[in-house]
Structure 1
Amino acid sequence: MSVDTVPAALAGPLTLVHAADHTPGWWRSAVIYQVYPRSFRDLNGDGVGDLAGITAELPQLAELDVDAVWLSPFYRSPQRDAGYDVSDYCDVDPLFGTLDDFDAMMAEAKRLGLRLIVDLVPNHCSDQHAAFRAALAAPADGPERDMFIFRDGLGESGELPPNNWQSHFGGPAWTRITEPDGTAGQWYLHLFDSSQPDFNWDNDAVHAEFERVLRFWLDRGVSGFRVDVAHALVKAPGLPAWGGRADGNSSDGFPGHEAPMFGQPALHDIYRAWRRILAEYGPDRILCAEANVDPLPRLADWVRPDEMHQAFNFPYLHAGLDPHRMRRVVTESLNALDAVGAPTTWVLSNHDVVRHATRFGYDGPAPRDGDGIGPADPQPNAELGRARAAAATMFMLGLPGGAYLYQGEELGLPDGIDIPDHQRQDPTFGRTGGERLGRDGCRVPLPWRAGEPNNGFGSGADPWLPQPESFGALARDTQAASPSSHLNLYRSMLALRRQLRLGEGSLAWLEDWSTDTSLGYLNGTVAVLMNVGHEPLDLPAGTVLLRSSAAAAMNAPEHQLGSGETVWLEIYIEDTES
């Protein structure tokens, strides 16, 4: 179809943004499912999910028709930040099992045709890591200290932090140590919790250590790595002061590209070296950057042909259901990444943000990511949130490129809100004195089977976080038996997406659907139309393939698109050029 070939059923102008892409590479159009191990499935009954539990339920993910599984950290760790504080990168924490359990999980994934991607946390480690323990025991000028970012303090006796940088979790990004002789000593940098010292990537020994880690897991068969805070490893020379946001996003007077702890040029040489290592294992191993950078065109810096294969698209996650903002983000994403020959990725939820079934349950602003929702906060409309979440997901899965799903979103799960303070474990909660609730709400363990203890998550100890009362009705077995459930809508969407090859497709905006309350595009011969307004809209002629209303039991007439609904519509286009 050319831009000039507008089907009669869609009378009105089209704006072509992206042509169909059949470049080889499984990841370019893949759907990748994020597993958060401690909340997925508890097989040994200790209240925390484990690798054996993941292995037991992998057939459910294969049945969902995803291409790969991304595993959040399962390495040895004191678990001060849910495993993102790693003490040994080449072993499994006993909380989750053993290396033998990992190998069994890999074998089952391979049998089911699922690829496995693992999290890599190269910006920081745990303060229990052997290298950091050695650094604490070493003199200030010892080579052990140079593995990390130690500095003398300011003030008459070094009592002030070396600069004004702030932690993502609240408070200063520096902690002062006590030297081996008992005196107050140097300060070390931690962009996150004080138990997570940042590595010094100006040190060749750090490079060598992580290249060893990459090979360890590649040798065990993983298909790649999701790289945690990939934009943060290298800091600007001299560690200059920064008055902007701790997360490096732009604010008045402080554009994000100037943040001295993010997006430094030397990063790209690191990822080029890693890409060469992955290439030794074949053309199908990938790197995905968690690189929260703005403005959006900078995202292309991470996915040039010799660097990362993918980068998370945070601007899309934050676009909400604003048609104008969504259109702008999608257009800018496709333009920027097409320019370097890279695929786009789309995502609506993950382990760091309020689940989109909860975020979309507000007519006004939802709580800021990382702050969470508590019982004293304004409460979302659960039914409205699930209906809008279904519509938003259908819009997303029609887009060309790759997509990431977060465990439980296929069930329409909400955030856990009624979590007692004494059970909250996110370090954000403690470091802010409870001012920010943190991310525990989106990490509540999954419901598998209604009527079983803990809704089938585990039959022993209570889950590490309490499940909401609503989880019983949303359990996987209950939804599997209901043709109109959220789960079965996901199954239908993913099967159709693969059948119609939408991930490899094109995108042209339907201008007549680009309004304050609607947005629509054409991907090949499939029109994806979304209505975020309060009034139904007339549908153009075509065959309805799927409606998001199935998840919310809404009953719009066949020729109309209901409020808060998305539809996939097959449009028959007469080839006028042959």
Structure 2
Amino acid sequence: MTDVLLSESRRTDPATWWRQAAVYQIYPRSFADANGDGLGDIPGVVSRADYLAELGIDAVWLSPFYPSALADGGYDVADYRNVDPRLGTLEDFDRMIAALHERGIRVIVDIVPNHSSNLHPWFQEALAAGRGSAERERYIFREGTGENGEQPPSDWGAAFGGSAWERVEDGQWYLHSFATEQPDFNWDHPDVRADFLRTLRFWSDRGVDGFRIDVAHMLTKDLTEPLPSRAELEGLPHDGNHPLSDRDDVHEIYAEWRRVFNEYDPPRTGVAEAWVSTPERRARYASAEGLGQAFNFDLLVADFDAAQFRTIIADNLAQSAASGSSTTWVLSNHDVTRHATRYGLPALEGRPVKQGVEWIKAGGPEDWIDREQGLRRARAATLLLLGLPGSAYLYQGEELGLQEVADIPADRRQDPAFFRGGEFDGFGRDGCRVPLPWTAAGPSFGFGEAEAHLPQPASFAKYAVDVEAADPDSTLSLYREALRLRRVLQTDEQLEWTETGRADVLSFVRPNGWRVVTNFGTAPFDLGADASRIVLGPVDAGSLPAESTVWIAPAGR
């Protein structure tokens, strides 16, 4: 039956492929190591191209691979139009694009426009040129306060802790919203705007299909003096006029980028990482005149709870319809605790996205977490997500059911959030960035020939690709089959909720008759006659087990 249904699956318009795509995020330094130095690289991605094709994804999103001192996992970019020599060359990048395109996989790359590395040639020129120079105008330099300028221009804090200002040798201060090694660009400067247009064309000309825009809401700023205090900033509304975040004038930049995207056939696409205050504000980033799509992170802060999921799904589908875009569904990424772990920890109940922080900082005591429940819920949530209209963004390793790694020694950690704290509470993001296990044996579970740059726990052996590929009931097998069948579900971008008689069971039907049912509860749910048409997911004597999801084919198929 499924083979017949697959023959009826959608044909994707090359210009709108992203609307319902399954996109797989690769954190390149932790994906696959081809040269045996312990660090993942671009040739490593090429070596796993067949794996990606077998997984059934539509696109890869490649986290930063540019030359970088790794002050922030590659998000401190020293050269926007090159490859970090530890990760390969531009020729390797071209081979990767060709290998993925040959397999029908498109490529999205990360663009980091709010800040550069302090090793970027422009910033080095700014330091050498001195105060009042044209070179410094590309960044945000200010005189300090106090009798001799020894105090920062304001009391603003950086995301990774400490002051948002750093003093240089001649006494001026520069703004860095994140790490000190990440000076903010001045987006009022024409050089900055023109150089990023060159960068977009550079990668588009090499075959890149789209761009993920890091902190897309932070580029433009109003630093008219006197600068507001930190307390004053926190009290200002985010209505398009906030001095530092989600300003209306940022969309002038993205309208210019859209004109560049539209120079290509098919047009390049963009997706904004935009942490903004309202759905209406986010919709502006997703407009056809702007980037086209914006991340919906709502499920990252939701418990495994039917009411929360239904509200988030309904709200985001309505927002997408209003903006003309399609929504994005995300359960894990490189910045948050893996959802197989998250769902095994106590409920968030409205706490921030940094769930699990107490568990991780304590070294992961086992009595705080139910790993089996976490994985069971993760599989159920993933099947629900993949059944929804819109695009799905998957993070490397989640298809294996990988858990967060909590017990990384301090001397092996890399994330500035661990050392500096700030809004990440000092627990860091290394636990979700540990290199993948490809084989149950080997010096780094098949990641490479040397020890991996972040330590892999012994438990990774049971999650290895070679183990799970041989098991039809594994999480990897579930993802492969779900992504294969998803091409049938993803027709019209709509759904209709159907009542189940239980508050802890959600059910919806897609326009082509496919039904998705998720049991968030602890008691089985009777599926009745539908049980005979289940094509994916568990069933027990005609009932849907607790904390699980099934896909049901249309009647008469």
TM-score (norm 1): 0.88
Asked whether the 8 Å contact 2:78–2:120 carries over to 1, the reply is yes
C-alpha separation in 1, matches of 2:56 and 2:229:
45
C-alpha separation in 1, matches of 2:247 and 2:134:
24
Q: 1:570 to 1:470 in 2, by over 3 A?
A: same
Asked whether the 8 Å contact 1:513–1:519 carries over to 2, the reply is no
Deviation at 1:159, TM superposition (A): 2.1
Give the alignment partner of residue 38 of structure 2, picking from 41, 47, 55. 47
Q: Which amino acid aligns with 2:279?
A: L
C-alpha separation in 2, matches of 1:294 and 1:86:
28
Deviation at 1:156, TM superposition (A): 2.0
Structure 2 match to 1:15: none
C-alpha separation in 1, matches of 2:501 and 2:223:
49
C-alpha separation in 1, matches of 2:141 and 2:390:
42
Structure 1 match to 2:444: 454
Q: Which amino acid aligns with 2:518?
A: M
Deviations 1:56-77 (A, max 9, x none): 0011011111111110011111
Matches within 5 A, 1:71-470: 71-179=62-170, 185-238=171-224, 240-241=227-228, 243=230, 256-257=238-239, 259-365=242-348, 368-369=353-354, 372=357, 373-378=360-365, 379-432=368-421, 436-460=426-450, 462-470=451-459
| Higher mean C-alpha deviation, range 162-171 or range 56-65 | 162-171
C-alpha separation in 2, matches of 1:416 and 1:123:
30
C-alpha separation in 1, matches of 2:183 and 2:540:
58
C-alpha separation in 2, matches of 1:58 and 1:367:
36
Structure 2 match to 1:490: 479
Asked whether the 8 Å contact 1:356–1:389 carries over to 2, the reply is yes
Structure 1 match to 2:497: 509
Q: 1:107 to 1:571 in 2, by over 3 A?
A: closer
Q: 1:402 to 1:187 in 2, by over 3 A?
A: same
Deviations 1:495-532 (A, max 9, x none): 1111x2326442112244572x2222221212211111
Question: What is the number of residues matched between the two proteins?
Answer: 536
Asked whether the 8 Å contact 2:387–2:489 carries over to 1, the reply is no
Structure 1 match to 2:7: none
Structure 2 residue 544 is matched with structure 1 residue 561: yes
C-alpha separation in 2, matches of 1:513 and 1:139:
70
Deviations 1:113-160 (A, max 9, x none): 111111111100000001001111123111111100111122222222
Structure 2 match to 1:523: 510
C-alpha separation in 2, matches of 1:40 and 1:545:
34
| Higher mean C-alpha deviation, range 277-286 or range 317-326 | 317-326
Structure 2 match to 1:533: 521
Q: 1:103 to 1:444 in 2, by over 3 A?
A: same
Identity over the aligned pairs, expressed in percent? 48
Deviations 1:26-73 (A, max 9, x none): 111111111100000011111000111100001101111111111001
C-alpha separation in 2, matches of 1:356 and 1:540:
31
Deviation at 1:176, TM superposition (A): 1.1
Secondary structure (helix, strand or coil) at the match of 1:213 reads: helix
Q: Which amino acid aligns with 1:535?
A: A
C-alpha separation in 1, matches of 2:82 and 2:541:
55
Secondary structure (helix, strand or coil) at the match of 1:453 reads: coil
C-alpha separation in 2, matches of 1:255 and 1:388:
37
Deviations 1:454-501 (A, max 9, x none): 1100112x1010112211011001100001000000011111111x23
Structure 2 residue 26 is matched with structure 1 residue 35: yes
Deviations 1:409-450 (A, max 9, x none): 000001111100111100011113996120000000000011
Q: Which amino acid aligns with 1:189?
A: L
Q: 1:548 to 1:572 in 2, by over 3 A?
A: closer
C-alpha separation in 1, matches of 2:494 and 2:541:
26
- Measured on the aligned residues, the alpha-carbon RMSD in Å equals 2.4
Asked whether the 8 Å contact 1:87–1:128 carries over to 2, the reply is yes
Deviations 1:244-291 (A, max 9, x none): 79xx9xx8x665557532111111111111111111111341111111
Asked whether the 8 Å contact 2:489–2:514 carries over to 1, the reply is no
Deviations 1:79-134 (A, max 9, x none): 11111101111111111011111111111112111111111111000000010011
Q: 1:90 to 1:334 in 2, by over 3 A?
A: same
Q: Which amino acid aligns with 1:238?
A: T
C-alpha separation in 1, matches of 2:228 and 2:542:
59
Secondary structure (helix, strand or coil) at the match of 1:488 reads: helix
Asked whether the 8 Å contact 2:166–2:175 carries over to 1, the reply is yes
Asked whether the 8 Å contact 2:301–2:352 carries over to 1, the reply is no
Secondary structure (helix, strand or coil) at the match of 2:147 reads: coil
Q: Which amino acid aligns with 2:396?
A: Q
Asked whether the 8 Å contact 2:157–2:230 carries over to 1, the reply is no
Secondary structure (helix, strand or coil) at the match of 1:281 reads: coil
Q: Which amino acid aligns with 2:260?
A: I
Deviations 1:361-420 (A, max 9, x none): 113338843875245355422211111100000010010011111001000001111100
Secondary structure (helix, strand or coil) at the match of 1:317 reads: helix
Asked whether the 8 Å contact 1:29–1:504 carries over to 2, the reply is no
Deviations 1:137-186 (A, max 9, x none): 1231111111001111222222222223221111221111111xxxxx11
Secondary structure (helix, strand or coil) at the match of 1:75 reads: coil
Asked whether the 8 Å contact 1:33–1:69 carries over to 2, the reply is yes
Q: Which amino acid aligns with 1:385?
A: G
Asked whether the 8 Å contact 1:388–1:565 carries over to 2, the reply is yes
Q: Which amino acid aligns with 2:448?
A: G
Q: Which amino acid aligns with 2:150?
A: E
Asked whether the 8 Å contact 1:200–1:234 carries over to 2, the reply is yes
Asked whether the 8 Å contact 1:547–1:565 carries over to 2, the reply is no
TM-score (norm 2): 0.91
Structure 2 match to 1:12: none
C-alpha separation in 1, matches of 2:127 and 2:491:
49
Q: Structure 1: which 5+ runs fail to align? A: 1-19, 180-184, 550-555
Give the alignment partner of residue 63 of structure 1, picking from 54, 64, 73. 54
C-alpha separation in 2, matches of 1:528 and 1:34:
25
Secondary structure (helix, strand or coil) at the match of 1:346 reads: strand
C-alpha separation in 2, matches of 1:244 and 1:520:
45
Secondary structure (helix, strand or coil) at the match of 1:90 reads: coil
C-alpha separation in 2, matches of 1:81 and 1:370:
21
Q: 1:259 to 1:519 in 2, by over 3 A?
A: farther
| Higher mean C-alpha deviation, range 436-445 or range 357-366 | 357-366
C-alpha separation in 2, matches of 1:174 and 1:544:
61
